Amino acid sequence: MQTTQFKPHIITFVLMLIVVALLSLSGCSSDTATPTPIADSPQGKALAWQLWDPADPALPTILDKNSDNSYKLTSGWDASSITYSYGWWGLGNPGNDYQVIERTGAEYKNGDNTVSTTDIQALLVALDRLYPTQLLLTYSGHTDDYPDWTVELQGTDGQHILLLSDSNSNPGNGPWNVLYNGRLYAQYDGALGQAIGKLFGGTLAQRNSFSLDGSQGDVLFSTEGLPPQLIYGFWGLVPISKGFSYSVDFSGSAITGRITGESSIGSMQIGDIDKLLSVSLTPPDGAITTCTTEDLPEGDPFTPVTSWKFTCPVHIGNPTDRYDYGISVQFGREGGTTTEGKGELYGAWQSDQTQGLALPLPAELATDFAQNTNANDLLSDHQPAFVTYSGKAPLNDPMQGERTGEAVFLGQTKVLSQTVRYSIGTRFEISNTQMVYWTLDRTMLDGMLKKITSLPTTERVLQADPLLTLNMWYAGTKPPEMNAVPLYSGGPEEYNIKVNPCGSVPGAILPNDTQPLEAFGYNLSRNLYMADFVLIDGRPVVANLDLFPQTQDPARATLIPKEFDTGQSRPFDRVWMQGASLFEPYDKEGTLIPGGTELTLDIPQDASPSEKAVYTKLAQALPGMLNMGEAWWTVDGITFTPNADGSLGVVGCK
């Protein structure tokens, strides 16, 4: 997930740099690193993260709790409009459908057609058996069939409820995801699909088979990020909602946004939308603000994407104040027709939202984590971040079944007398509400923090970026096989890392019988995707260090070895050091044949002959086997290793 990025106040930033530099010059070593207990606050724990909760406490409660701790729509809530959008791509012609049902007096109309109030009520009644989640859930049981439904209900009380699904299997194309007031819920049995299909037709009306008594077996699912409506804070704009985003430009006193088509195979536009005509905002005082718009470059010529930018001047209030703007977007469709999308932008002015949302744990995990002694201990002074997982559960009892995933906690510690944010991720497995795999405890976390924050490399990157985030991951023993992962729906990382030995630099497959997996990196994703380093016998070894010299942040720029200094020429586009070659061979029995290490170098595609000469000279000087392609080169048989001053140097494996 991406969150709105804002720059810190320049004076604060400079002062922090000075403090760190003075401490370094004085020979001060790292303070003892232990998690700092943090009091609860409206933003949650871990104040250094500046997390924020998107739920508005002033909005009414329109979901009632059932006896099984699920939720249902409050009786008597009525809809004034229902907006439906459907998209599909796969083997065949892409499909799109957009319909709006509006209430006129006692009747509901879809265009000129009257809609049965019984069918409307059936949809509202189907908003039941909703279990709190933290991320969207989805399941793709086969390929070449990718549906996408967005349904937005607006009540006669002005409240909005969003329904989402992009699953191609399970009854009713479930799980269905429900968003209301900054909180997500999942309906696992798919009953909403049948009700929506009755109102709008299409695929949902053609293939529905429901049984809530469990005879249908299990429902399968994986987490799948967050809807843009929750990330950015908006309602309406259903035809363009998948590609809509905006942020607050504090220096320019403006809201800037982007409308972008999806880059699926062959998709160049947003459905049949091919032009943006105008964007305007309506602030609380009612004075319409006209925004400026511009077309953006299409980018990749193989999958061009229609994209526009808009800028709207606004008056920015205090950080804790909430804002609410009406928005109108006029766009054109193929064939010359025009359509107006209306909606609402809402949220709270924040001086720094770089760390994103603070959302509670999903219902099926909150109790299990609390009952586990070690997990519950970490929750006492850490903020739970997003938990990614895959699972399967009985249709009639979705809180049972299996969940296999990755839990990430956010904390803060002291290094060089300054507060440093960190994340710690770990694997877990739950079977029928019992935690059957969890290896992270307080002792292990404290040990990792002390080892990693005392490294010269960590001190070096902190000097470059006092606002650094340290990312860590831990697995004490080999995690179990991920037997709950759906076929094509992705899932959490396996939590094992392989590094091949290179000369005097050790290698290992972690975790193993004698060593845990202790991986870390700087300013990376909180989830384990590619860790910069792993600790092998207490020594930091490069696992998967991916650097982009032309756009690198200050901390990661210090990790680029001097061997890649291009002087006055443009730097390399990418310097990617892998502790194990990406494509390692297997023998006929399926056993991995140990390979080597691999460095990938990308050069600018428009590099001049003189620049190519610089890149070539540097690459040829490396102590490995160079293979030169057109725009990217590989070097086998080398790795990076930390020097005494925390910088990285290049060493050969022979």
**What average pLDDT does the structure give for the chain?**
84
CA–CA dist 269, 271 (Å, integer) = 6
Q: What is the pLDDT of residues 436-465, one digit of tens each?
A: 999 999 999 999 999 999 999 999 999 999
Report which of 553, 535, 534 is spatially closest to residue 543, judged by C-alpha positions.
Answer: 534
User: Which parts of 296-392 fold into alpha helices (H)?
Assistant: 363-371, 373-379
Paired with 505 in beta bridges are: 502
Average pLDDT of span 558-569: 96
- Phi and psi dihedrals of 66, rounded to 5? -85, 170
| Average pLDDT score over residue span 332-337 | 71
pLDDT exceeding 70 applies to what percent of the chain?
A: 83
Name 226's Cβ contacts closer than 8 Å, sequence gap at least 6. 1, 135, 136, 184, 357
Q: What share of the chain is helix, strand, coil (3-state, %, to 5)?
A: 15, 35, 45
How many Å from the N-terminal Cα to the C-terminal Cα in the chain?
A: 41
- Tell me the pLDDT tens digit for each residue of 490-527: 666 789 999 999 999 999 999 999 999 999 999 999 99
Residues 135-167: tens digit of each pLDDT: 999 998 888 888 999 999 999 999 999 999 999
Average pLDDT over residues 581-590: 60
Question: Which one-letter DSSP state was computed for residue 31?
Answer: P
Structure tokens, 582: 């990406």
Q: Taking a C-beta distance cutoff of 8 angstroms, is the pair 485, 404 a contact?
A: yes
Would you state the torsion angle of the CA atoms of residues 311, 316, 321, 323, taken in this order, to the nearest 10 degrees?
-30
Work out the average pLDDT over 532-553. 95
Give me the pLDDT at residue 94, please: 67
Q: Is the pLDDT of residue 281 over 90?
A: yes
Is it the case that residue 650 has pLDDT exceeding 70?
yes
Using pLDDT thresholds of 50, 70 and 90, give the confidence band for residue 12: very low
CA–CA gap between residue 222 and residue 135 (Å, rounded): 9
Q: Residue 269: is its pLDDT beyond 60?
A: no
Residue 520: strand pairing partners: 472, 533
| Cα 208 from Cα 188, distance rounded (Å) | 14
The answer to whether 462 touches 420, Cβ cutoff 8 Å, is yes
pLDDT the model gives residue 95: 74
Q: What are phi and psi of 17, to 5 degrees?
A: -60, -40
